[in-house]
Amino acid sequence: METVIILVFIFGYLAITLEHNLKIDKLIPALVMMAISWALISLGLEGFNEWFDSSQHALVDGFANMPLENISNPDESKMHIMEESLLHHLGKTAEILVFLLGAMTIVEIIDYFDGFSTIKGFVKTRKKTKILWIFSILAFILSAIIDNLTATIVLISILQKIVKDRDMRLWYAGLIIIAANAGGAWSPIGDVTTTMLWIGKKVTTSHLFVYLFLPSLVCMALPALIASFMPIFKGTLDVEEEVDDKPKSKFSSTMLYLGLGAIVFVPIFKTITHLPPYVGMMLSLGVVAIFAEMYSSSKFTLSDPSASEEDAHGHHSPVHSSLSKIELPSILFFLGILMAVAALESLGILFEFATTLQDNMPMLGTELHHTGVSDLVILLLGVASAVIDNVPLVAASLGMFSEPIDNELWHFVAYSAGTGGSMLIIGSAAGVVAMGMEKIDFFWYLKKISWLALIGFLAGAITFMFTRTIF
């Protein structure tokens, strides 16, 4: 039965990876894979000899000899342990999903007030290299606050209004992808995988910043520096001033800074109260929503100046409107993939794989301090994240390794999984959304951008290997 479950996972994973070829949204195979995996576990539960307790990160003693159901002592039964594990994994997954829902809603509220248009005012030059650095730095900072996917959408939308030459815009988009993924790695709210490690109590905000800010900065800056000397970025742009007929809300700047500040407040709230991050995110969402409702009751128009307030808002509050626009398919995808990986973890498959990997993988110069895991293992995880979605890779690493909180292994995992995806355009959410917005060809990116991303990834990894010896 274990072999069948592994095959279900592999085929489901292939369907996720090939979603563009199959023309099937990746959330569908993720949900099907999750449901079938747990159904097979339930049907074959009596025949399993091992069960992995994720809360204790150890195999359950005497699981093979337990009855399927035990009326006299329900706690000592395979069915009870499976139900408890399922509930445990659902709870941990729900923490991540509720957190993401809150963050997505705040970003949509900012966009409702056209807050991101304020960022366009930062670009006051026509020199190609200066624009490159402005967008790279903005992507690096913004992605650490509103996550790399949203930062990429915002900046490419602004880029489309500033740079009319599509060939030139593709180059900027490629560097934005690298910078956004690098920026998301050093912040607990900058990338889904880093958020998973943070909520899973594997990293803390302060140590994540100390260990990964410099490697991530190198990962962003070196490709941008190399690109600055390339012929394509020489000279100035022919910038066309675009006449925007859509009136800008007078609260756009206020909502931008309020929304970004509310998201940044979440790690601070967690540090002070020691409550799960989603509690702080709900508080931030509530505060932003209060101001959004207050401002929406003022007389301002987002569409036609002559339209009434009721017409402009379509009888919806900013919060209702924002909730209707969040990426629910992404939420369902994360639910499916995380619970599917949890199925493999519960059967002890990931635990056994990690043990085999650590015993047989050759060391790359040195192993990670206080662990039996080599640097090469984590670097390969980063390379794999360029081909395979990094969410299940990090979910698997949570089940494979048992190192304590803020162990350097977790920080290296956060860096590698977060930045390795830049090496292929399909390797990260930022790359996929940029691919859709600009119709970037896979092979164009492979030829023009991938080598820059690889240099940045390796340079950042070397920087991490150096900085970990200092702190």
Burial class (CB within 10 angstroms; exposed 0-12, middle 13-18, buried 19+) of 359: exposed
Rounded distance between C-alpha atoms, residue 382 and residue 262, angstroms: 31
Rounded distance between C-alpha atoms, residue 128 and residue 301, angstroms: 35
pLDDT of residue 308: 47
Helical (H) or strand (E) element with 317:
none
Whether the CB-CB separation of 201 and 208 falls below 8 Å is answered with no
Q: How far is CA 214 from CA 219, 449, 463, in A?
A: 9, 22, 7
Helical (H) or strand (E) element with 53:
strand 52-53
Burial class (CB within 10 angstroms; exposed 0-12, middle 13-18, buried 19+) of 470: exposed
The two tokens of residue 383 are: 């390379």
Under DSSP, is residue 428 helix (H, G, I), strand (E, B) or coil? coil
Whether the CB-CB separation of 397 and 409 falls below 8 Å is answered with no
Rounded distance between C-alpha atoms, residue 150 and residue 430, angstroms: 8
Provide the greatest CA pair distance for the chain.
81
Residues in Cβ contact with 369 at an 8 Å cutoff, skipping those fewer than 6 apart? 408, 468
Whether the CB-CB separation of 204 and 407 falls below 8 Å is answered with no
Under DSSP, is residue 416 helix (H, G, I), strand (E, B) or coil? helix
Give residue for tokens 């009326």: 71
How long is the chain? 471
Rounded distance between C-alpha atoms, residue 29 and residue 9, angstroms: 9
User: Long-range pairs for 125-128 at CB < 8 Å and ≥24 separation?
Assistant: 126/236, 126/237, 126/238, 126/239, 127/235, 127/236, 127/237, 128/168, 128/232, 128/233, 128/234, 128/235, 128/236, 128/237
pLDDT of residue 126: 80
Whether the CB-CB separation of 451 and 417 falls below 8 Å is answered with no
Rounded distance between C-alpha atoms, residue 122 and residue 197, angstroms: 33
- DSSP assignment of 72-134 equals S-GGGSHHHHHHHHHHHHHHHHHHHHHHHHHHHHHHHHHHHTTTTHHHHTT----BHHHHHHH
- pTM for the whole structure: 0.74
- DSSP assignment of 352-397 equals HHHHHHHHHSPPSSSBPTTSS-BHHHHHHHHHHTTTS-HHHHHHHH
The two tokens of residue 128 are: 């190609």
Rounded distance between C-alpha atoms, residue 147 and residue 193, angstroms: 11
The two tokens of residue 370 are: 């206080």
The two tokens of residue 112 are: 């409702």
| Helices and strands counted in the chain (H then E) | 22, 2
What secondary structure letter does DSSP report for 242? P
The two tokens of residue 44 are: 């074959």
SS (H, E, C) 56-69: CCEECCCHHHCCCC
pLDDT truncated to tens, each residue of the chain (471 aa)?
A: 888 988 998 898 788 777 777 788 878 888 999 999 999 999 888 888 888 877 776 778 888 888 887 777 777 788 888 888 899 889 888 888 888 888 888 888 888 888 877 777 777 778 888 889 999 999 999 888 888 888 888 888 888 878 878 888 899 999 999 999 999 899 888 888 888 888 888 888 888 898 999 999 999 999 999 999 988 888 887 655 554 545 566 788 888 889 888 988 888 888 898 888 889 989 999 999 999 888 886 544 444 444 444 444 444 678 888 888 887 887 888 888 888 888 888 887 777 776 666 666 554 444 444 444 567 888 888 888 887 667 777 877 887 777 888 888 899 999 998 898 889 887 787 887 787 778 788 788 888 899 999 999 999 999 998 887 776
Whether the CB-CB separation of 392 and 334 falls below 8 Å is answered with no
